[in-house]
Structure 1
């Protein structure tokens, strides 16, 4: 981490006073409703073997995605926050403390990308799964059917211009589908992310080249609705 970047982080945190104070100057909506989970600033293990999602996602893609891209965000974040009050914060706290602050853009990008990827791997499971009764009822209430919800997720993912994410999130109990650019996350909008689909090209290019729609078709049966139910 360069001396100038370290000064930027320390200056931003000095204004906030502490991690808690930094969160207090963020979005009022996010403060009121965003979950305060304690995801550590260490990369969690994959929840399945690298080849477990094949043929939808090859072991080669999983290995490259997890061990290069995902790991790289944790490595970069550690360099940025070492020696600052954020070094002991959870990923969620770092994301909320740095969101919208130009001087902490690099911190936000790496923390949010680390956190987003954590959820991406948790959003998939080798044989797929079914939602709980509570989530299934909410899906019917807000989308009419699970198929309609999957259609909205596909539309959001395929329609996202450039790099980003397609999300299913809960906003005060109501389900919403949305897309975000780059490292952005519904967490900063006070929502609870339930499922996410990575539409950065590194998520699918080795398998599908530029055919993002084919990637969506392949992974929809692998979505872990049981995991989303627990987060819901």
Structure 2
């Protein structure tokens, strides 16, 4: 079955003033749509792979399960489809952004010392990613929280990732995600992101990941 572009879970202007309407419209309707179209085109050549969902497809990146002929296309575009499907859901209107659950807050405190310390480490991962990529907060194999960054459209589910984990929060730091509003001021964009984090979704992601499951896309 072919992948489809998911609808945004809010109006394109819902994240104003932190993410502008034009960026959201182009980011979702152009960039994400292109990833979907490209991964579908690649999988047309190998119909036996069409039964894989987007999570399993990403978990297979970096393994022999992906034919060499389409390995790069799947990595870039299958990664882009997962990453953006995940990203839209971890953001919400500023007034709807509440905070982590008691369970997630306790895990954050245990792993990083405090919420502010976690944000500082996450922000550093996002700001320090050279070129295009992502920053992630996730649950590692031992059940603890970790922070990592990935290049381009890689993510910590893929075998190519430096540090593997189940993501519960992610931030896109490709220039197309912020340049119309923030130009070269990536740290300003990163700081603004915390005003629109959908903590209810992140809490659900944490609960699923802590049980070994995957966040719902």
Please classify the TM superposition score into its range, dividing by the shorter chain length. Answer: 0.7 to 0.9
Would the aligned equivalents of 2:13 and 2:21 in 1 still touch at CA under 8 Å? yes
Which residue of structure 2 aligns with residue 179 of structure 1? 149
| Counterpart among 194, 203, 217 of residue 191 in structure 2 | 217
Take 2:137 and 2:6, find their aligned partners in 1: how far apart are those partners?
22
| Counterpart among 19, 28, 33 of residue 57 in structure 1 | 19
Which residues of structure 1 form unaligned runs of 5+?
1-39
Which residue of structure 1 aligns with residue 210 of structure 2? none
Deviation at 1:133, TM superposition (A): 1.1
Which residue of structure 2 aligns with residue 206 of structure 1? 180
Deviation at 1:117, TM superposition (A): 0.7
Deviation at 1:57, TM superposition (A): 0.5
Aligned Cα root-mean-square deviation (Å): 1.5
1:31-50 deviation per Cα after TM superposition (whole angstroms, max 9, x unaligned): xxxxxxxxx82221111110
Q: Secondary structure at the match of 1:105?
A: helix
**For this pair of structures, how many residues does the alignment match?**
193
Would the aligned equivalents of 2:60 and 2:158 in 1 still touch at CA under 8 Å? no
1:100-143 deviation per Cα after TM superposition (whole angstroms, max 9, x unaligned): 56541111211111000111111211122311111011011111
Which residue of structure 1 aligns with residue 6 of structure 2? 44
Deviation at 1:188, TM superposition (A): 2.1
Structure 2 length-normalised TM: 0.84
Deviation larger for 61-70 or 124-133: 124-133
Take 1:198 and 1:119, find their aligned partners in 2: how far apart are those partners?
10
| Counterpart among 34, 39, 59 of residue 96 in structure 1 | 59
Which residue of structure 2 aligns with residue 148 of structure 1? 117
Max Rg structure = 1
Take 2:11 and 2:116, find their aligned partners in 1: how far apart are those partners?
28
Structure 1 length-normalised TM: 0.79
Deviation at 1:216, TM superposition (A): 0.9
Deviation at 1:225, TM superposition (A): 2.0
Take 1:112 and 1:173, find their aligned partners in 2: how far apart are those partners?
24
Asked if residue 188 in structure 1 is aligned to residue 151 in structure 2, the reply is no
Q: Secondary structure at the match of 2:42?
A: helix
1:48-81 deviation per Cα after TM superposition (whole angstroms, max 9, x unaligned): 1100000100110000100000111001111110
Would the aligned equivalents of 1:99 and 1:105 in 2 still touch at CA under 8 Å? no
Deviation at 1:99, TM superposition (A): 2.5
Asked if residue 132 in structure 1 is aligned to residue 95 in structure 2, the reply is no
For 1:59-78, list aligned pairs within 5 A: 59-78=21-40
Which residue of structure 2 aligns with residue 112 of structure 1? 79
Which residue of structure 1 aligns with residue 215 of structure 2? none
Which residue of structure 2 aligns with residue 197 of structure 1? 171
Please identify runs of 4+ aligned residues in structure 1 that moved more than 4 A. Answer: none
Asked if residue 169 in structure 1 is aligned to residue 138 in structure 2, the reply is yes
